[in-house]
A and B are shown apart, each in its own frame.
Chain A
């Protein structure tokens, strides 16, 4: 789809808005989807959806106002609310919304195989998961599959008229054997990235393999966090600490560490809006800035924080094109597109360790200090690249920032988990609370 197209509703809103304020930005998203939920191993609910989103941002003499609605025909009400909102917010240094700029045109964000999203596709995905799950002794308790397509548009009073088509597909399966549970999922822009058989097989594997787990004594252990477990902890602690807004507001542990080696020297962390397979791939951010790859951490050294235009203007920083649509009413706020955890890869499961597939309660971690204590899911002893004895129950207590200083290696395979792309991570001498 071309990046520039006329947009009648946006043009109308901009024209009306410009009679009252200095700048106007209009975001719209329209889409359809289909999904089905499993009740045990049969489909119990099937759903079709139609969604609309309209977000308006106005800027007048440094005052920014926003409003949103899922009923685009109420745009006038929405525009009035955005202008009223601007009257209330504090005036900040502001140097203007972006002008149109050259964009990368080779960022695939939709898959023709998912257009239109069909019930037959959802059934095939579910059948694939159930077939995969049959490889192990476990009962399916739930799960589902879904697919959808959206058209996203951004326009502003400086002439930007960007549009892209986005598809998504997702599968998940939950399984149980006695009181041992297993969960797996997959999500992507592209159907070919999804392997429903493997998702089903892995969910059933973890449920069946974790039966009759043995007790573990409280102590220090080498562990391997799966990409899912690592992403759960990092997304609740590391991502907020990398936000320029939290840095400037005095709410980031990393605020005074720019230029310092604050992580293992083998680690690099970057946001790559063009990363193959990432679900946040885009040529432009939520404010229309040309998206770009940039390093947060390079070889353990903290190099940069994420900024949107508003925060960058206010604090004399440079926007990293990190705006995403997750603020109140769909307003742009600082986020990441595809956060990649990278570094030297090795066979991290050769030496003995406790593998942790997921954690329960990652969102209860202390966002400010990085301290956490969580329950672990499917802990399994691993050695020589093979899963061994399951562990019955354990807590894992630690600190995310300390953890990143002493990694024992990164696994060889990357996995997409939400807006993160990362491998399994080995961590030595971690505190496990058992009996």
Chain B
């Protein structure tokens, strides 16, 4: 082990805030209230790599505590064997988009009443269970590093989900709607979301199943956004590229997909994954991962940019006071110029996949999987019967070439992304897209 008395670099990121939740289950307020968090991550570059101290109950105003935390991070860095260098970076912070209505100005009783209206609106015939949940986080972040860079900001995220379960003759199905935002209180005038979830659940009671196999598939903006996130976004993360765990390694400048495809990650967009500055205090910017089918850039932290090149730093993110990782923020497929009617007509016979139950990717193998909430068979260019429990899987590089049409109706959807045990808010988006030879899974 190598020991040293001062780090080559250090940074400190303190995150303090509160989380409020409300859970209404079948008309009863099951739980509601506020919890508080306060933690910090202190990173120090030793002779080789990173030493990190993650501390709850950290007092940023205490010099002895800071000295002890740095000493502890530096000490543990002695076991690292990989020399880490940091690429130069800019440190400009974006303004946080203003709140249309600050959730802090709405008392918990009113939030509960509004959520209850959404939950009640899901109670239609055949629906046997309803549940609505609200969550709101208000966090304050303070960042400083040994180069003299400092940043601080506060951001509020809030949103809700509503679930309806329908049952008939022993068959059960569910529908779910959700809305999350960084731009203010979102519970007002949303009763139709409960009804929409309920109508989906009831409609699914009569939905059929498909056997699965290769077919043409139209992906709606939400699912196509998940495709951009799972199939391309993760594989472009600089840490995975650096460690040889991505099929996109070494392919910068190569045509890896249809020329119709441009995929972007932009943490500065005022969407759910917005970051005014990244978790290393680095300016955020729009990064074009794929431009017209050509791989242009990876997503980077300062470390991975220095090690790999080809891309932009400003993509390091962290859940609360956890260690920053290279992550996506707002990831989307750029709009094309095809109308939805043309896409359906070109598909002729296949499947329209709608909504998302999430997805996963093995970036080293280049295989992804994700599940739609439901779908519709397409016959002779028209939407036919509803189908349930349909998924899509495929090989990243092959599937990017299978995109034959890109619509003009891009829409972003909020969600959460997991990596390395951390969950961060993101948004994904796309217009409708048409895939040939898609591997669709079903259980008929």
Closest-by-CB residue of B relative to A81 is: B34
Name the CB-closest residue of B to A435: B214
Among A68-85, those with CB < 8 Å from B are 68-74, 77-78, 81-82, 84-85
Q: Tell me the smallest distance from the CB of B2 to a CB of chain A, in Å.
A: 12
Chain A residues with CB under 8 Å of B443's CB are 371-373, 397-399, 431
**When the two chains form their complex, are residues B73 and A92 in contact, meaning their CB atoms are under 8 A apart?**
no
The answer to whether residues A176 and B245 also contact, given A81-B33, A90-B28, A431-B212 and a CB cut-off of 8 A, is yes
A106 touches B (CB below 8 Å): no
Interface residues of B in 236-256 (CB under 8 A from A): 239, 242-245, 247
Alpha-carbon gap, A371 to B244, bound state (A): 34
Q: Is the beta-carbon distance between A34 and B391 smaller than 8 angstroms?
A: no
Q: Quote the shortest CB–CB distance from A375 to chain B (angstroms).
A: 4
In the bound complex, CA of A42 to CA of B79 (Å): 10
A101 contacts the other chain (CB 8 A): no
Q: Is the CB of B393 within 8 A of A375?
A: yes
Q: Does A269 contact B (CB under 8 A)?
A: no
Chain A, 196-223, CB within 8 A of any chain B CB = 218
The segment from A45-53, A380-388, A410-418 that touches chain B is A45-53
- Which one of A296-304, A315-323, A326-334, A337-345 contacts B? A326-334
**In contact, A397 and B388 (Cβ under 8 angstroms):** no
A48-B76, A181-B364 as given contacts; A71 in contact with B56, CB under 8 Å: yes
Residues A360 and B362 in contact, CB atoms below 8 Å apart = yes
Q: Are A74 and B38 in contact (CB under 8 A)?
A: yes
CB 8 Å contact bits of B60-91 with A (1 = contact, 0 = none): 00000000000011001111111010000000
Please, which residue of chain B has its CB at the minimum distance from the CB of A363?
A: B358
Chain B residues 87-111 with CB under 8 Å of chain A are: 108-109
Q: Which residues of B contact A181 (CB under 8 A)?
A: 245, 362, 364-365
Query: Closest residue to A122 on the B side, CB-wise?
Result: B79
A71-B33 CB under 8 A given contacts A181-B364, A250-B128, A364-B370: no
Q: Judging by beta carbons under 8 Å apart, are B165 and A368 in contact?
A: yes
Q: How many residues of B contact A (CB 8 A)?
A: 84
B161: chain A residues at CB < 8 Å are none
Does the CB pair A361–B360 fall under 8 Å?
Answer: yes
For the complex, what is the distance from the CA of A176 to the CA of B361, rounded to whole Å? 15
Which residue of A is nearest B112, CB measured?
Answer: A88
Contact across chains for A52 and B57 when beta carbons are under 8 A apart: yes
Q: Complex formed: what's the CA distance from A141 to B52 in Å?
A: 21
Question: Does chain B have a CB within 8 A of A132?
Answer: no
| B212:A369 contact, CB within 8 angstroms | no
User: Which of B17-25, B145-153, B263-271, B329-337 is found at the contact surface with chain A?
Assistant: B17-25
| A82 pairs with B33, CB closer than 8 A | yes
**A48–B50 CA distance with the chains assembled, in angstroms:** 11
> For A324, what are the chain B residues with a Cβ–Cβ distance below 8 Å?
none
- Inter-chain CA distance A176–B240, complex, in Å, is 12
Contacting A368 at CB < 8 Å: which of B172, B243, B365?
B172
Task: Say whether, besides A36-B79, A48-B73, A374-B391, A71 and B129 are in contact (CB < 8 Å).
Answer: no
Are A179 and B365 within 8 A (Cβ)?
yes
A51 touches B79 (CB 8 A): no
Contacting A at CB under 8 A, from B133-171, are 165, 167
Known: A141-B245, A250-B165. A328 touches B49 (CB 8 A): no
- A150 interface residue per 8 A CB criterion: no
Q: Which of A47, A122, A249 has the most CB of B within 10 A?
A: A47
For A388-410 the 0/1 string (1 means CB < 8 A from B) is 00000101011100000000000
Q: List 13 A-B contacts (CB under 8 A).
A: A45-B323, A47-B323, A48-B54, A50-B53, A50-B54, A67-B33, A67-B36, A68-B36, A71-B56, A179-B247, A181-B364, A328-B19, A395-B212
Given A360-B368, A366-B389, 14 additional A-B pairs, CB 8 A: A44-B49, A46-B79, A48-B72, A69-B38, A71-B36, A119-B76, A249-B25, A250-B128, A328-B23, A361-B391, A364-B357, A367-B174, A375-B369, A395-B369
**Residue positions of A touching B, CB distance < 8 A:** 34, 36, 39-40, 42-53, 64-74, 77-78, 81-82, 84-85, 88-90, 92, 119, 122-123, 139, 141-142, 174, 176, 179-181, 218, 249-251, 253, 327-331, 360-361, 363-369, 371-375, 377, 393, 395, 397-399, 431, 433, 435
Q: Which 7 A-B pairs have the closest CB atoms?
A: A85-B33, A373-B441, A329-B35, A364-B371, A250-B129, A361-B369, A42-B81
Q: Using CB atoms and an 8 Å cutoff, list the residues of chain B in contact with chain A.
A: 19, 21-23, 25-26, 28-39, 49-57, 72-73, 76-82, 84, 108-109, 112, 128-129, 131, 165, 167, 172-174, 209, 211-214, 239, 242-245, 247, 323, 357-362, 364-371, 388-391, 393, 395, 439, 441-443
